[in-house]
Amino acid sequence: MKVDRSVSSSAERILAAADKLFYRQGIRAVGVDAVAAEAGVSKRTLYNYYPSKDDLIAAYLTARFRHLEPSDAPAREQILGNFDRLERMFADGSFRGCPYVNAVTELGDPKHAAAGIALQFKEQRRVWFRVLLERLQARDPDALATQLQILVEGALASALVRGDPALARSARAAAEVLLDAAGARRPVRSVRPTRRAR
């Protein structure tokens, strides 16, 4: 298999191949041989960069880690925009569930590095919600953040078994009800008061 070696390093290509195959077909369903072949790299080289499949799995999950940072956009928009992103993901056709939850499910072992990475990611998003909720001066931002996190997780799992993108809209509508009930109907101090909704 011919691969343009100048475009990216071997390590990067291996990681890209692992991401594609692990997510699409499942971690346990894909062997290291397949990953090496997809990356256009010999198995020896793969094991040079990642000493074991478990290391590769951990690297795959870590690479998927996107550091969330609340932006300057209106908090409510940011929160609800999350669900719009979900809807786009569901409609994409290549959606196969949350990679972190999938890894935990597939590996089973709670002591596997993947379990810790998954927990870290989920907690990061929960905190991201909480910061935005504090900005909205919502009641009990911590509890509400957990509930929004549950809605996201539920939309992901539901869309996995029933591939309906509209599930994201259902979750979004529920989130709006929860936000309203927590007294976050409108931003208290919006960055730009004239900005219209969405």
Instruction: Report the interface residues with a second copy, using CB under 8 A.
Output: 25-26, 28-29, 96-98, 100-102, 104-106, 108, 110, 115, 118-119, 122-123, 143, 146-147, 149-158, 160-163, 167, 170-171, 173-174, 177-178, 180-181
- Among residues 56 and 179, whose Cβ is nearest to DNA? 56
- Among residues 54 and 176, whose Cβ is nearest to DNA? 54
**What span, in angstroms and rounded, lies between the C-alpha atoms of 34 and 126?**
35
34 forms part of the interface with DNA (CB under 7 A): yes
- Among residues 27 and 39, whose Cβ is nearest to a second copy? 27
Q: Which does 19 bind (CB under 5 to 8 A by kind): a second copy, DNA, none?
A: none
